[in-house]
């Protein structure tokens, strides 16, 4: 019975060369061709002894190394030895070194991408949910008019400016403590007794700043508890409030 075994340690002849260079601690820019060729051929022979499939690209690289080794052993002419620059340019290892450096860059990039893939694999995602029904239910629960907190704050700023202009030049300040809960009861009672909607400004009869702030916070809390309804005919128009029927 024949078994086909795949060696995953090396992904090609360049990968095998890089492994040998790292194991032998060789400078990639100054490769001792004789030594690296000997080690490379030993791996090829070992793969054949184990009856492993040796791809043709491994044999091509072996032939390339032998060709480079032969060129390195050829005697140099005297005129070539006089010019170091030409000697460096004619170095038969240059093309192989460039290929190894380029392959090393791609291998490191692939390793980084593999790490990112593993990190991403630890995250769980789900497709977006359809919240149409939920949004429709929320809309039905709210009042007909869409009034946001920013609209309330805008109305509050206008009220403060109006109260500031209406404040007398000289007045006697009498400090009076009032709680938000008490002011909430007063507002609900006022709206129920009136029986009609009241303007936002009608809920601020006092010019005292502390009373104004407490009243505004009380209104926000009543809206949150859905004890009063707010209306606005159009953007930036007057805001009206009514007490909800039990």
- Count Cβ atoms within 10 A of the Cβ of residue 54 and give its class: 0-12 exposed, 13-18 middle, 19 or more buried: middle
Does this model's pTM top 0.75? My answer is no
Distances (CA, A) of 88 to 1, 85, 103: 53, 5, 22
pLDDT of residue 136: 62
Range list for CATH 1.10.10.580 in the chain: 139-243
User: Which pLDDT score, from 0 to 100, does residue 77 have?
Assistant: 59
What string of pLDDT tens digits covers the 246 residues of the chain? 443 444 445 778 888 888 888 888 888 888 888 888 888 888 888 777 665 666 678 888 888 888 888 887 777 655 555 554 444 557 888 888 888 888 888 888 888 898 888 888 888 777 777 767 666 655 554 444 467 766 777 777 777 777 665 655 555 555 557 788 998 999 999 988 888 888 888 888 877 788 888 888 988 888 888 888 888 877 777 888 888 876
Q: Which of 42, 46, 26, 24 is nearest to 96 (CA)?
A: 26
What integer pLDDT is reported at residue 166 of this predicted model? 60
The pLDDT of residue 99 is: 87
The CATH H-level (homologous superfamily) assignment of domain 139-243 is Structural maintenance of chromosome 1. Chain E (1.10.10.580)
Return the pLDDT at 51: 58
């Amino acid at each position: 019975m024949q078994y086909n075994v795949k060696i995953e340690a090396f992904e090609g002849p360049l990968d095998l060369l890089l492994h040998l260079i790292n194991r032998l601690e060789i400078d990639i820019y100054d490769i001792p061709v004789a030594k690296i060729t000997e080690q490379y051929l030993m791996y090829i022979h070992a793969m054949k002894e184990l009856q492993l499939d040796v791809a043709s690209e491994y044999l091509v690289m072996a032939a390339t190394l032998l060709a480079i080794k032969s060129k390195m052993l050829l005697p140099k002419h005297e005129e070539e030895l006089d010019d170091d620059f030409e000697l460096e340019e004619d170095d038969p290892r240059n093309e192989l070194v460039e290929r190894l450096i380029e392959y090393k860059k791609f291998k490191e990039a692939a390793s980084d991408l593999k790490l990112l893939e593993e990190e991403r694999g630890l995250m769980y995602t789900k497709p977006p949910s359809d919240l149409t029904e939920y949004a429709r239910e929320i809309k039905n629960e709210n009042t007909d008019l869409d009034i946001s907190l920013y609209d309330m704050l805008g109305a509050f700023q206008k009220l403060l400016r109006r109260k500031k202009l209406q404040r007398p030049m000289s007045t006697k300040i009498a400090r009076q403590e009032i709680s938000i809960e008490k002011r909430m009861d007063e507002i609900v009672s006022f709206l129920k007794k009136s029986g009609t909607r009241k303007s936002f400004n009608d809920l601020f009869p006092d010019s005292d700043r502390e009373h104004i702030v407490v009243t505004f916070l009380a209104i926000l809390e009543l809206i949150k508890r859905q004890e009063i309804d707010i209306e606005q005919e159009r953007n930036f128009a007057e805001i009206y409030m009514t007490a909800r029927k039990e």
